[in-house]
Amino acid sequence: MKTRGKKVIISLLAGVFLFAGCETDDENKTLISRFNSDNSHKTGENCMVCHKAGASGKGWFTIAGSVYKSDRETPYAGSVINFYSEPNGAGLLRYTLEVDKKGNFYTTEPLNFQGLYVSAKGGDNQVFMAQPVANGACNSCHNNRSVRIWANQPPGAK
């Protein structure tokens, strides 16, 4: 009797792990923004409202947001988000995310937020965030024209 009970429990546990594994693979597939992609949407909105566990968005983003040109109106496709170990680009470059055609950046890859300082880079120009990033829901704070994430455009750029 005891052996049969153990087999049932082991089978049930194996089934739970297999089910959870399939669910995770389907709902939290790896997504990373790329320069030439136009798969994103809702530029300027808080991506983490939908792209989190239990919500309707595909992929559970660890960080996501939108970048604008220096006018803070026009999405800045082709810019870059850099993550440094120290303020103002000092220290190590830890991560880089490409900004897609709609001005959005995102990843489902794990990031260690401890002591990460962010910059938005357009051409050779960078704009640095003064404080370390607190979480990955960038547009939850950078949600209106005065505090949007922006990068300086190179001279002569349109």
Q: Return the HEC string of 72-118.
A: CCCECCCCEEEEECCHHHCCCEEEEEECCCCCEEEECCCCCCCCCEE
| Cα–Cα distance for residue pair 63/49, rounded to 1 Å | 12
Residue 116: predicted pLDDT:
93
Which pLDDT value is given to residue 107?
Answer: 94
CA–chain centroid gap for 134, Å, is 13
The neighbouring-strand residues paired with 95 are 83
pLDDT in tens, the chain (158 residues): 455 544 434 433 344 333 333 334 446 778 999 999 999 999 999 898 999 888 888 889 999 999 999 899 999 999 999 999 999 999 999 999 999 999 999 999 998 888 999 999 998 889 999 999 988 888 888 887 778 888 876 555 55
Give pLDDT, residue 155: 56
Instruction: Report pTM.
Output: 0.78
How crowded is residue 29: how many other Cβ atoms within 10 Å of its Cβ?
A: 11
